[in-house]
Amino acid sequence: MQSNFHFIDGAIIVVYLVILSAIGFYFSKRQKGIEDFFLARRSMAWFPVGLSLMAALNSGIDYIMQPSTIALYGIIFLAGTVSWIFLYPWVAYVSLPFFRRLNLYTAYQYLERRFDVRVRGLAATIFIFWRLGWLATALYAPCLAVNVATGGQLGVLPMIIVLGSVVTLYTMLGGIKAVIWTDVIQFCIMFGGLAATVAIVICNVPGGVPEILRTAASADKLVLFPPVPGAEHAGFLQKALLYLRKEDLMFAIILAAIVGRMAGYTCDQVMIQRFQTTKSVKDSRQAFIINAVGDALWMFGLGFVGLALFAYFGHHPMPKGSNPDYILPYFMSTVFPAGAVGLVIAAIFAASLSSIDSAINSCTSVFVVDFYNRLFLKRHNATEDLSPEEQRSQVRVSRMATVAFGIVGIILGANIGKIGPMIKIANKVIQPLTGPLLGLFLLGMFTKRARSEGALIGGIVGAGVSFYVAFGTDIGFIWPTVFGLVATLVIGYAVSLASGPPVKSQAGMTFKSVMKQPEVSAREEAVAD
């Protein structure tokens, strides 16, 4: 396969990976306890946390998936960015102040206070499976891109092993501070690579931006409300099935984005842990705004690249039978000048590593706090006035867990490509578990009536429903999260009603009750469970 990959491109990638490893070594001597390793002693400013959140939320999956999705379906899949408008009130005035008052290491400690240790364990398990799926996909995506962009010079499997080893190394050494500061660097590289990609694509489309828009309009890629074939003459139930099977519907895309992101900012340890590192709720809100604006710019930039590539390949067709996920890497391999290939590959790596390091660190925090400390050591309190030696022991365990999660991620990343195109991997593997997890927190936060039995059964049924919709039906890939959320809420509440009256001590941990507690400041270092 033809490729414009040169020595200078390889040098750029190697230097970038060495810098990331050096950051991990720099922070390695500053990890004296798990509050350093997981929360950075709540000392981080809002700006780096905001950049880190944006980098963690997005990944190399977007670099592969977003252009190919927009080229295939059109700009309708940019509708999900509207969800940020609806999400801000929820994050700023519900989830952020709520968790700040709880003062926890992991989000799932709340579920034991509200229900019992079984529900906490279920949620923690769901989260780990969710983030391992994300980790594997984020690891596979950039390696696929590198393989195509280098004309097969760099194999997918060797790159998965190298990339997975580097990210595991610096995450294991430096903890959350290393993760946040490497994410800041990766944020800059991500947008630098995106700017280069946009400029190069525009320069190579005959007619530039006007031709890109004309080609997109003529192929209905700018349509926001595509028709549903057969819906005009269908009955109510048949019409509902047609809508559920169609994957490019405006309201469905926005609804799925709102549910998925609500889950992220309510029950995703990646996000909750980031916000816990800031000095105050105000800092967390400012970080969220940076995150939202950065994400919108990122998605629209990649969406434009998708339209531009659609126009370019209208003049220069790809080989027949090419994987649609290869649209950007193939363009890079045949058109990009020397140096630019390395820059954009580094940007793809940056987008992925910022997600992978977050997934590994958050899975480690959940394992150590929710399983090792709570179930093995029987500690209800995450610290319990630990001695310096015990604190160092906690860091050692955390580092061993980090290595273990990194190895599992590498193994899964080497096999996840068998599922299909990237957009289906993302929605079938990553998203289904977010709905049930969100349902557990909503039951606990906003219903006094919910009991532990209901939450436990509701969460299990909701997870089963999500995966059944994803893999056992022909319902569109954007719906599993919503079905899982609804099933968890309905079954959880119904079982609670049938189980007897609410438990007074549990009902006292609802949102309204918790908000009466004072906010934890950056100076309060004791983290209670």
Question: Pick from 132, 133, 139: which is nearest to 165 by CA?
Answer: 139
- Give SS3 for 103: coil
State the pLDDT at residue 521. 52
For residues 374 and 395, give the distance between their C-alpha atoms in angstroms, rounded to a whole number: 16
Look at residue 456 and tell me if it is in a domain.
Answer: no
Helices (H), 74-218: 83-90, 96-102, 109-114, 117-149, 156-204, 208-218
Whether 437 and 267 have beta carbons less than 8 Å apart is answered as yes
Q: What is the separation, in whole angstroms, between the first and last Cα of the chain?
A: 57
State the pLDDT at residue 446. 92
Residue 303 to residues 251, 307, 438, Cα–Cα distance (Å): 19, 7, 28
Burial per residue of 342-358, b for 16 or more beta-carbon CB atoms within 10 angstroms, e otherwise: bbbbbbbbbbbbbbbbb
Look at residue 162 and tell me if it is in a domain.
Answer: yes
Question: Pick from 99, 108, 53, 70: which is nearest to 375 by CA?
Answer: 108
Q: Which three-class secondary structure string do you get for 342-376? A: HHHHHHHHHHHHHHHHHHHHHHHHHHHHHHHHHHH
Look at residue 481 and tell me if it is in a domain.
Answer: no
Whether 356 and 409 have beta carbons less than 8 Å apart is answered as yes
Look at residue 293 and tell me if it is in a domain.
Answer: yes
State the pLDDT at residue 442. 94
Our count of domains for the chain comes to 1
Cα 147 to the chain's mean position, in Å? 23
Whether 75 and 303 have beta carbons less than 8 Å apart is answered as yes
The number of beta carbons lying within 10 Å of the beta carbon of residue 93 is: 13
Look at residue 4 and tell me if it is in a domain.
Answer: no
Look at residue 244 and tell me if it is in a domain.
Answer: yes
State the pLDDT at residue 489. 95
State the pLDDT at residue 498. 92
Joined tokens for residue 334: 């045949």
For residue 346, the domain's CATH number is: 1.20.1730.10
Question: Pick from 226, 268, 194, 284: which is nearest to 434 by CA?
Answer: 268
State the pLDDT at residue 496. 93
Segments forming the whole domain that contains residue 342: 39-219+233-422
**Triad 466, 471, 472: Cα angle to 5°:** 95
State the pLDDT at residue 79. 85
Amino acid (1-letter code) at residue 203: C
For residues 471 and 469, give the distance between their C-alpha atoms in angstroms, rounded to a whole number: 6
Phi, psi for residue 452 in degrees, rounded to 5 = -65, -35
Look at residue 503 and tell me if it is in a domain.
Answer: no
State the pLDDT at residue 440. 93
Look at residue 60 and tell me if it is in a domain.
Answer: yes
Dihedral (Cα; 92, 95, 96, 97), 10-degree rounding: 100
Determine if the pTM surpasses 0.85: no
Neighbouring-strand partners of residue 278:
44
pLDDT < 50 regions, the chain: 1, 522-529
Whether 174 and 26 have beta carbons less than 8 Å apart is answered as yes
State the pLDDT at residue 492. 95
Dihedral (Cα; 458, 461, 465, 471), 10-degree rounding: 140
State the pLDDT at residue 518. 74
For residues 524 and 41, give the distance between their C-alpha atoms in angstroms, rounded to a whole number: 9
For residues 238 and 515, give the distance between their C-alpha atoms in angstroms, rounded to a whole number: 45
